Amino acid sequence: MSNHQVLTASLERLVEPSSQLPLAAPLARWSVREQAPGLGVELLIGFPVTADGVAGLERQARTRLEAAGASLAVFDVRTRIAAHAVQPGLSPAPRVRNVIAVGSGKGGVGKSTTAVNLALALQRLGARVGVLDADVYGPSVPAMLGLSGRPESPDDKSIEPMRAFGVEAMSIGLLVDTDTPMIWRGPMATSALTQLFTDTRWGDLDYLVVDLPPGTGDIQLTLAQKIPVAGAVIVTTPQEIATLDARKALKMFEKVNVPVLGIVENMAVHVCSNCGHAEHLFGQGGGQAMAAQYGVPLLGSLPLDLRIREQGDAGTPVVAAAPDSAPAQAYLAAAQALAAHLAGRPRASIPIASSLA
């Protein structure tokens, strides 16, 4: 084995901090070359990374090389977000590399807030992102993103997505009046979801985050049967009554051949804004215990923070309104872990164009 191969193997043992996954194939690929006065190292990764993230990876690589008696002259990081495998019999959608479903077994756990902030976090990481509001009966994404008005239809057949904070969005809530109830039976609701997905003129997206309604009903089954999904995220709170229902959502995705990328534990801890005392109002460790039981990662534990509710109600989600705040940083870390775990999944057998950054 050549010296460069030894060094490459050493670099492959470095880990991505948020997911704790090794930076080796298929997640990443290293290239080491001579470049005076030291080595030139190139890292090709399958998920977006911030400038701070790149700097952290460079520090890790420099330390590892110096321990092996080598010096780092140039460090380059390139991102290539590929389309990943979906359910059998389906192919990735044109112009949408990866559909990520965000579900929960029950309502009231902050699933829509989590979905929107994860989408904005992926966009801040450098990806091209869209959000599809699949909750036909109770759409909340337009309000959370501060969207109003009607989307345009250039040909009376397709719909232009609306945009907010650099993210594309579509929802039945943008097509009907705010106070109009959707009194539809299951087939009408599922048909509406399919049309929203297929008739929207999505841009060239790396990720489309789909905010599902709570439960395991018709909408979820339609998503699994007709929409190509690369992976799912389960949102729960730590309390036992919430994780009981979240387990049902997880098992549903398993039964329909949609891989669960991980669990997001919402409202995990509240820190008093006056005294700084931390309290686990909804219990402690429920998400971690569920993740361990089913062998899936815990992508993150999000705080119960007043700013998340206030900014969501104002139509300016916390990741967009206060990106340096503790809640926003928690969403960014969860989004980074989500993207890394997806990058480690098998790629689609019918590839579509990849993004290079």
Query: Per residue in 103-139, pLDDT tens?
Result: 887 777 889 999 999 999 999 999 999 999 988 877 8
DSSP single-letter state for residue 285:
S
User: Does the structure show a pLDDT above 90 at 263?
Assistant: yes
Residues 3-80, CATH architecture: 2-Layer Sandwich (3.30)
Taking residues 200-204, report their average pLDDT.
95
User: Does the structure show a pLDDT above 60 at 148?
Assistant: yes
Known binding residue 15? Answer is: no
> For position 163, what pLDDT does the model report?
96
Tell me what the pLDDT averaged over the chain comes to: 87
Q: Band of the pLDDT at 186, cuts 50, 70, 90?
A: low
**Distance (Å, rounded) from C-alpha 161 to C-alpha 192?**
15
**Distance (Å, rounded) from C-alpha 281 to C-alpha 194?**
38
Q: What is the pLDDT of residues 10-20, one digit of tens each?
A: 899 998 888 88
DSSP alpha helices (H): ranges in the chain?
3-11, 51-67, 111-124, 141-144, 186-199, 218-226, 240-255, 286-294, 306-313, 318-321, 326-343
What are φ and ψ of residue 285, in 5° steps? 85, 5
Known binding residue 226? Answer is: no
Q: What is the pLDDT of residues 300-347, one digit of tens each?
A: 988 888 888 889 889 999 999 999 999 999 999 999 999 999 999 999
Known binding residue 106? Answer is: yes
> For position 208, what pLDDT does the model report?
97
Known binding residue 110? Answer is: yes
Known binding residue 108? Answer is: yes
Q: What percent of the chain has a predicted confidence (pLDDT) above 90? A: 44
CA angle 168, 313, 328 (to 5 degrees): 70
**Distance (Å, rounded) from C-alpha 174 to C-alpha 153?**
13
Taking residues 45-58, report their average pLDDT.
89
> For position 16, what pLDDT does the model report?
87
CATH label, 96-351, candidates 3.40.640.10, 3.40.50.1220, 3.40.50.300, 3.40.50.1010: 3.40.50.300
Only one residue has tokens 């997640």, namely 27
**Distance (Å, rounded) from C-alpha 21 to C-alpha 64?**
17
What are φ and ψ of residue 279, in 5° steps? -135, 140
Structure tokens at 164: 């907010």
User: Does the structure show a pLDDT above 50 at 357?
Assistant: no
Q: What percent of the chain has a predicted confidence (pLDDT) above 70? A: 92
Domains 3-80 and 96-351 share a fold: no
- Of 2-6, 144-148, 261-265, the one with minimum mean pLDDT is 2-6
Going from N- to C-terminal start, the domains of the chain cover 3-80, 96-351
Q: Which of 126, 299, 269, 134 is nearest to 212 (CA)?
A: 134
* DSSP-derived pairing of the beta strands 260-271 and 278-279: antiparallel
* DSSP-derived pairing of the beta strands 162-164 and 167-171: antiparallel
Known binding residue 56? Answer is: no
User: Does the structure show a pLDDT above 80 at 351?
Assistant: no
Q: How much is the pTM?
A: 0.90
Q: How many CB atoms lie within 10 A of CB 59?
A: 12
Known binding residue 126? Answer is: no
